[in-house]
Amino acid sequence: MTFINSILIHYTWYGIALLALLLTLFFVQLYYYAIAYNRIYNYRLMRRRNKRCDNPPISVIVAIRGESERFLDTELPTLLAQEYHTFEVVVIYIGSDMDYLRELERIRDNNAHMRLTKLGGNDRIRISTKQALNIGIKSAHYDNLLFTTSGAVPRSNEWIAYMAKGFERGMVVTAPSVPSFEDGGKIRTTLMRTAELHQWRNAFASAVNGELYCAPRSNFGFTHRLYDATRGYNHLALDNGDNDLYVQSIANAQRTAVVLSPHSVVVEERSSRWSEWLEYMRYNNSTRVHYPLKARMNGNRERGSRILFFLASICSLVVLPSELRIAVALLVLLRYAIVVWSTRRTARKLGEKRIAKLYWLYDIVGPVLEVMTRARIDNSSKVWR
């Protein structure tokens, strides 16, 4: 009796097949966490790109829908206080409150960096985000357009300066955005943060590899020249899509610059209520049905291999002999060690801190959350600020 026959008799074909499946899924997971996501940590913009210009002037465009006191008190002052030699902040106010408009005008009159345009005033006429941004783009003085949103604030007063380094080397620029939650349960908000981190980890892993499929709505930009050359936004029937569907149509490996620095991070205010957070995530993810198949399948493969790896591990621990159960347990622990190592490295580059401690919880329930945040909604019925 040969050695191979002895193994087959002892462990059976089913046991060998199960172990082979488990090893295959482990290597798929290893590819994502040790190779694909690790590109984010190893990416260095300055080393990989030649300059196309020096110290480019920047136009920051932000559309505000309604009356936000936080925008007046925190967000706009932070934008206007940026430490950069040549920039402007173009504010598009969509609303009809004259007192709020007068306060914006007062700030504009006292700050040479600010420009202001008002839209709206008639509740029967709905102004889409793309329409508002079009007005902002036409009002901008400079070729390099940087977009952010109300509810978001740069983490550093050097945000524009660091994003300008992206425009020095590319025509399409993006950088991380992280959520800031209202008071809520630690486990709940940690799950929300890790869900968003994992989504952006997939996006930035593609971006640094020259395939930009989406960018944070509060932290991306492109040149006016490129916008004119492509005749502006596509998918005009959708209110969103300016930061992913349009970016996909103009970005390529030569044009794209990713800025990964603590100074380039934007912090977005987010509700800690499950219902409101899910609604926000579903709205932003509703354009994914228009993504190329390769982009849609990338995250699905990681999620699917993770689910199958856990299921195969459970089955192996139940049916395999004791000596193989130990090997399976060690394989599960090795995978998790790699996941935590990779998550800590990429989280720092994407602006998150101290998130790996409870990552084990997201590692288990994450696939369910990812499915929930990608449920279909009526895109036309929602307009986000």
Q: Name the nearest CA neighbour of 295 among 177, 215, 191.
A: 215
**Single-letter code of the amino acid located at 89:** V
Both tokens of 76, joined, read 């706009």
Q: Name the nearest CA neighbour of 197 among 308, 328, 7, 353.
A: 353
Task: Tell me the Cα Rg of the chain.
Answer: 24
List the chain residues with pLDDT less than 50.
1, 3-10, 378-381, 383-385
pTM: 0.89
User: What does the pLDDT read at residue 7?
Assistant: 44
Both tokens of 26, joined, read 């482990």
Distance separating alpha carbons of residues 120 and 96, to the nearest angstrom? 6
User: What does the pLDDT read at residue 8?
Assistant: 44
Distance separating alpha carbons of residues 335 and 355, to the nearest angstrom? 18
Angle between helices 293-319 and 186-207 (to 10 degrees): 120
User: What does the pLDDT read at residue 140?
Assistant: 95
CATH level 3 topology of 45-186+210-290: Spore Coat Polysaccharide Biosynthesis Protein SpsA; Chain A (3.90.550)
**Single-letter code of the amino acid located at 72:** L
User: What does the pLDDT read at residue 300?
Assistant: 87
Name every residue whose Cβ is closer than 8 Å to that of residue 116 and which is 6 or more positions away in sequence. 90, 91, 93, 104, 105, 108
Name every residue whose Cβ is closer than 8 Å to that of residue 156 and which is 6 or more positions away in sequence. 162, 262, 263, 264, 265
**Where, residue-wise, is CATH 3.90.550.10 in the chain?**
45-186+210-290
Name every residue whose Cβ is closer than 8 Å to that of residue 173 and which is 6 or more positions away in sequence. 146, 163, 166, 167, 220, 221, 222, 256, 257, 258, 259
Distance separating alpha carbons of residues 324 and 12, to the nearest angstrom? 13
User: What does the pLDDT read at residue 10?
Assistant: 47
Name every residue whose Cβ is closer than 8 Å to that of residue 79 and which is 6 or more positions away in sequence. 60, 62, 89, 148, 154
Distance separating alpha carbons of residues 299 and 359, to the nearest angstrom? 18
* pLDDT tens track for 254-286: 999 999 999 999 999 988 899 999 999 999 888
Distance separating alpha carbons of residues 114 and 133, to the nearest angstrom? 16
Total Cβ atoms within 10 A of residue 377: 14
b (16+ CB within 10 A) / e for 306-344: bebbbebbeebeeebeeebeeebeebbeebeebbbebbb
